[in-house]
């Protein structure tokens, strides 16, 4: 399964960006999808995740209320709309796919754990200037 993230760029604080992640997965709708980010010198951290049908979404506290994750299974694409961007949002953003076979999405908070994800995109850089 290949993931291709796009949409990164430079923006001023307070601005918006929209990231997209397309996949080659034949059964895209069977994957939970996540967004993670990694700032220079820091560990990769969870940003957002969305369930197979898009019914459930989860966010880190740092982006809750500002970012929105969505997906279009027909287009095999997951999106991350980022609003009210801050300089601390500067990072390389990665999309990831989780072949989650559990009946309850994100049970035990697994969707927050990068180790649960099976496939990763190459990352797209978001730079927010203050």
Please report the pLDDT score of residue 101 as a whole number.
Answer: 76
Please report the pLDDT score of residue 64 as a whole number.
Answer: 98
Contact between 42 and 88 (Cβ < 8 Å): no
DSSP 8-state code for residue 99 = -
Please report the pLDDT score of residue 103 as a whole number.
Answer: 81
List the chain residues with pLDDT less than 70.
none
């Amino acid at each position: 399964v290949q993931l291709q993230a796009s949409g990164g760029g430079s923006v001023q604080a307070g601005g918006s960006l929209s990231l997209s992640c397309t996949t080659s997965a034949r059964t895209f709708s069977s994957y939970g999808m996540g967004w993670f980010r990694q700032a220079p010198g820091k560990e990769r951290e969870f940003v957002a995740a969305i369930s197979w049908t898009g019914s459930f979404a989860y966010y880190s506290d740092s982006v809750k209320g500002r970012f929105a994750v969505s997906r279009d299974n027909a287009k095999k694409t997951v999106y991350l709309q980022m609003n009210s961007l801050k300089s601390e949002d500067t990072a390389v953003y990665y999309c990831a796919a989780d072949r989650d076979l559990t009946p309850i999405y994100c049970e035990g908070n697994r969707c927050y754990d990068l180790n649960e994800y099976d496939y990763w995109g190459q990352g797209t850089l978001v730079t927010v200037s203050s």
